[in-house]
Amino acid sequence: MKPIHVGLLGIGTVGGGTFNVLRRNQSEIQRRAGRGIEITVVADRDVAKARALVGDAAKVVDDAFAVVRDPDVDIVIELIGGYTVAKDLILAAIDHGKHVVTANKALLAKHGNEIFARAREKGVMVAFEAAVAGGIPIIKSLREGLTANRIEWIAGIINGTSNFILSEMREKGLPFETVLAEAQRLGYAEADPTFDIEGIDAAHKLTIMSAIAFGIPMQFERAYTEGIANLTKDDIRYAEQLGYRIKLLGITRRTPAGIELRVHPTLIPTKRLIANVEGVMNAVLVKGDAVGATLYYGAGAGAEPTASAVIADLVDITRMATSAPGNRVPHLAFQPDQLSDTPILPMDEVETSYYLRLRVYDRPGVLADITRILADHTISIDAMVQKEPAEGEDQVDIVLLTHRTIEKHTNAAIARIEALPSVAGKVTRIRLEELGRH
């Protein structure tokens, strides 16, 4: 049988890994796919570098649009990234009847609805396993492996850069800025790390998982994002003393009022497996009503882990290419006409527990004032730690853990607490999730 011909757009880290793994494991992949899969043309602006990587195994061009128009190309792999040119290339590939594989989580989170609608119209597939959590097959698990389940919630460590920073801050007691500089030196963080440390990258990935888990359109613009730049080593130490670990989590949960879609630093009990995921590794915890909690762990980035996911998509498309479009797995797991209009819950309406750290003057009655304000807003205290003031100081830290409450109640209580003359500065608020009880 004639091999599947693939056009590769971009042969950087992941593109190079994809080319090498596909060539190295060619016979094994062919046994699984039922026919050969060959990258026959590569588009990259750096033609000389691309030719050095592929040799004479594939044609190299500098015009990516020539690849998507090439009648001999069956599948296009888009590894350019970004919102603009990548979108134009994917839509052009679809219009020319090509199936598409992409690792572009930012593009799918923002424009996935349009891209999937165009693909359905043209009868082609868009596969995107590599867009979330690198080599971890979380998209396939959500779309196929957990089909029998009503997904209740997902909580994921889905940004390796932020996880590395938090791991180093905890293990070495270093401040955020020092560890960020080390992450940049090691190549884990970009020169401009905004997408990683502000939670935007994680929100892109969470948006995709939420859509698949709950059968809703992509709604990145409604995701709540909060990064790790304001976390201190003191908060990480206090959390540890209370039996918790701080991770940047992407959380999406089905509730009677709507779907939560949020990324923020979160206290997790250290006894949870996901709390012990360290360094640049990723992990996604999925709770289904039938299967219970399932954990998916592995490398969330890197040349060959991500290439593993890209090639898995190539094999899936190869197997399904001759099937009728109506018999294929839907892009978002649910049939397109069965997507729900369930609203995304505003952050003010989310219910969770909280870690609150207050810097107060060491005076009688301070704690009574604080607990009275919390009670006024129906917030009950689960645990409390009051530190002794250092010698010569008149200020002390109080750390409170609350029971579950609505975010807007906590915001109102914090505003009143910060107005107390006995409270110095701002209250540090970090959300807390047990990831087991609910």
Q: What is the mean pLDDT of the chain?
A: 95
Residues 275, 269: Cα–Cα separation, whole Å:
7
Question: Residues 258, 150: contact at Cβ < 8 Å?
Answer: no
At the second CATH level, the architecture of 351-432 is: 2-Layer Sandwich (3.30)
* DSSP state letters, 337-375: GG---PPBPPGGG-EEEEEEEEEEE--TTHHHHHHHHHH
Q: What is the pLDDT of residues 158-193, one digit of tens each?
A: 999 999 999 999 999 999 999 999 999 999 999 999
- Claim: this prediction has a pTM higher than 0.85: yes
pLDDT at 326: 84
- Percentage, residues of the chain above pLDDT 70: 100
Residues 94, 116: Cα–Cα separation, whole Å:
10
pLDDT at 180: 96
pLDDT at 437: 54
Q: What is the pLDDT of residues 6-63, one digit of tens each?
A: 999 999 999 999 999 999 999 999 999 999 999 999 999 999 999 999 999 999 999 9
pLDDT at 436: 82
- Is the pLDDT at 302 greater than 70? The verdict is yes
Collapsing DSSP states into helix, strand and coil, what is residue 435?
coil
Domains 4-135+303-338 and 142-299 share a fold: no
pLDDT at 364: 87
pLDDT at 316: 96
Average pLDDT over residues 325-340: 91
pLDDT at 324: 85
Domain 4-135+303-338, what fold? Rossmann fold (3.40.50)
**Three-class SS of 262-325:** EEEEEEEECCCHHHHCCCCEEEEEEEECCCEEEEEEEECCCHHHHHHHHHHHHHHHHHHCCCCH
- Percentage, residues of the chain above pLDDT 90: 92
Contact residues for 268 (Cβ-Cβ < 8 A; gap 6+): 244, 245, 246, 247, 249, 274, 275, 432, 433, 434, 435
Average pLDDT over residues 132-140: 95
Domain ranges of the chain: 4-135+303-338, 142-299, 351-432
Q: What is the pLDDT of residues 386-431, one digit of tens each?
A: 877 777 788 999 999 999 999 999 999 999 999 999 999 999 999 9
Helix (H) or strand (E) holding 22: helix 13-24
Q: Which two tokens stand for residue 354?
A: 């909280």
Q: Which two tokens stand for residue 43?
A: 């588009």
Annotated active-site positions, please? 205
Residues 351, 349: Cα–Cα separation, whole Å:
6
pLDDT at 391: 73
**Higher per-residue pLDDT: 321 or 314:** 314
Q: Which pLDDT band, with edges at 50, 70 and 90, does 325 fall under? A: confident
pLDDT at 438: 47
pLDDT at 318: 95
Specify the CATH number of the domain 142-299: 3.30.360.10
- Using CA of residue 56, residue 58, residue 64, residue 70, what is the dihedral sign? positive
Residues 344, 92: Cα–Cα separation, whole Å:
31
Residues 355, 361: Cα–Cα separation, whole Å:
19
Q: What is the pLDDT of residues 56-100, one digit of tens each?
A: 999 999 999 999 999 999 999 999 999 899 999 999 999 999 999
